């Protein structure tokens, strides 16, 4: 029996497709026999994928190096010639890090609480406020809506450092410098997340919303009960991106009281402690990179589903 992949046309009783040229059937058979696409040369495949493999190794090397360094005891960190893999892997660096954390001027749990609080509130606000805006921008045509969205696309290009100075001035004018709001409010308005949400919602059929409207649902109810459950991948993506950026937020320019600093800031202060803390610095690198990477692994398929709609239409 010969079947053609993704063929949905008429078939004969034995399942062989009608109307499919012989050429295609033959190509498919040979492709199946060799288990690859018909118009690919084997030599090309081997060549390309071995290059890809080498590049992937090169990409992964620094991260593996970082993890291995964190597992090396102090004498191995300064061994000559330096080695890649630790000979006697230990978790000493991590326990040393815990000791240093215990000695900080502000109880270390305070930094953790700060980061958890900021991440939680910021992400929550970002998803709600961003989705509300994304919904109307994606599904309704109203005056000033399009120009506003192109402004958001332009804002995707803003670099944190470039706007940091005037941002500080604006924040000091409204008096939120050195409060959590200084981190939270810009994070809630993050253009990237809103942009992704809007692009994803474009794919939602308008008939869904209209039928709810005919049934007498108010806009707010449509948003909560029809729209939001249907864009689950998008708001999961929003959560992940928001968590990633808030976790990495140091905000050293807008927060100056030590008790309000974030965990990453405190960890990087330890990291900057010079050569005596080389081991701990390596441990910090691993701790800091672990959270974003772990969240990405857990939600990869949802993120990719959202990114599939991220394209910019003319």
Partner 1 sequence: MTTFVKKYFALRKRNTLIAWEKAKQMKFCYAFLAPYAVLFLAFYILPMLTSIYYSFTYYNILEPAKFVGANNYIDLILNDDVFLKAITNTFQLAVITGPLGYILSFCFAWLINELPRWIRTLAVLVFYAPSIAGNAYAIFSIIFRGDAYGYLNSILMNLGVINTPILWLTTPDYIMPVIIIVTLWMSMSTGFLSFVAGLQGVDRAQYEAGYVDGIRNRWQELYYITLPNMKPMLLFGAVMAITQAFGVCDVPMALAGYPSTDYAARTVVTHLFDYGYTRFEMGYASAIATMLFIVMILCNKLIQSALRKVGT
Structure tokens at 308: 């599939």
* Nearer to partner 1 (CB atom), residue 84 or residue 259: 84
**Binding of partner 1 by 273 (CB under 8 A):** no
For 277, left (φ over 0), alpha (ψ -120 to 50), or beta? alpha
Which 62-121 positions form the footprint of partner 1 (CB under 8 A)?
A: 62-63, 65-66, 69, 78, 80-82
How far apart are CB 186 and partner 1 at their closest, in Å? 4
DSSP state of 258: G
- Which stretches within 248-277 are classed as H helix? 263-271
Q: DSSP letters of 113-169?
A: HHHHHHHHHHHHHHHHHHHHHHHHHHH---TTHHHHHHHHHHHTT--HHHHHHHHHH
Choice from 46, 55, 91, 259 touching partner 1 (CB under 8 A): 55
- Dihedral in degrees, nearest 10, Cα atoms 114, 122, 241, 95: 10
Torsional class of 106: left (φ above 0), alpha (ψ -120 to 50), beta (otherwise): beta
Q: Does 188 bind partner 1 (CB under 8 A)?
A: yes
**Tokens found for residue 155:** 């804002």
Query: Which parts of 277-306 interact with partner 1 (CB under 8 A)?
Result: 281, 285, 288-289, 292-293, 296-297, 300, 303-306
Query: Which of 269, 290, 291, 289 has its CA nearest to residue 280?
Result: 269
CB nearer to partner 1: pick between 27 and 106: 27
User: Cβ(282)–Cβ(172) under 8 Å?
Assistant: no
Residue with Cβ nearer partner 1 (13 or 79): 79
Tokens describing residue 12: 């004969």
What mask, x for binding partner 1 by CB under 8 A, covers residues 215 to 234? ----x---x-----------
Nearer to partner 1, 259 or 308 (CB): 308
Pick between residue 172 and residue 211 the one whose CB is nearest to partner 1. Answer: 172
> With binding defined as CB under 8 A, does residue 11 bind partner 1?
no
**How many residues line the site for partner 1 (CB under 8 A)?**
98
Pick from 162, 206, 259, 298 the residue near partner 1 by CB under 8 A.
162
Spatial separation of the C-alpha atoms in residues 14 and 10, rounded to whole Å: 11
The residue among 134, 189, 147, 195 whose CA lies nearest residue 167 is 189
From 94-102, 114-122, 188-196, 204-212, span contacting partner 1 (CB under 8 A): 188-196
Residue closer to partner 1 by CB (options 91, 170) is 170
Residues 111-140 that bind partner 1 (CB under 8 A): 129-130, 132-133, 135-137, 140
């Amino acid at each position: 029996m010969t079947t053609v992949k993704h063929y949905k046309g008429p078939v004969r009783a034995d399942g062989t497709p009608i109307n499919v040229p012989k050429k295609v059937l033959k190509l498919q058979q040979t492709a199946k026999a060799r288990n690859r696409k018909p118009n690919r040369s084997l030599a090309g495949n081997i060549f390309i994928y071995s290059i890809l493999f080498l590049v992937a190794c090169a990409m992964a090397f620094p991260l593996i190096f970082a993890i291995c360094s964190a597992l090396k005891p102090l004498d191995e960190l300064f061994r000559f010639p330096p080695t890649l893999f630790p000979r006697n892997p230990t978790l000493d660096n991590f326990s040393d890090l815990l000791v240093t954390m215990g000695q900080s001027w502000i109880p270390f749990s305070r930094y953790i609480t700060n980061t958890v609080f900021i991440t939680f509130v910021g992400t929550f606000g970002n998803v709600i406020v961003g989705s509300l805006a994304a919904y109307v921008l994606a599904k309704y045509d109203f005056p000033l809506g399009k120009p506003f969205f192109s402004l958001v696309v332009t804002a995707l290009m803003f670099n944190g450092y470039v706007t940091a100075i005037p941002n500080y001035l604006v924040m000091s004018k409204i008096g939120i410098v050195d409060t959590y709001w200084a981190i939270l409010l810009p994070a809630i308005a993050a253009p990237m997340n809103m942009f992704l949400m809007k692009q994803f919602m474009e794919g939602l059929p308008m008939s869904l919303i209209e039928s709810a409207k005919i049934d007498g649902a108010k806009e707010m109810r449509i948003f909560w009960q029809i729209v939001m459950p249907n864009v689950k991948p998008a708001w999961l993506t929003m959560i992940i991106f928001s968590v990633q950026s808030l976790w990495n937020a140091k905000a050293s320019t807008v927060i100056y009281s030590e008790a309000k600093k974030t965990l990453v800031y405190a960890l990087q202060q330890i990291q900057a402690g010079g050569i005596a803390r080389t081991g701990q610095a390596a441990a910090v690198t691993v701790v800091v990179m672990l959270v974003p990477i772990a969240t990405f692994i857990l939600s990869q398929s949802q993120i990719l589903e959202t990114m599939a709609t991220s394209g910019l239409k003319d």
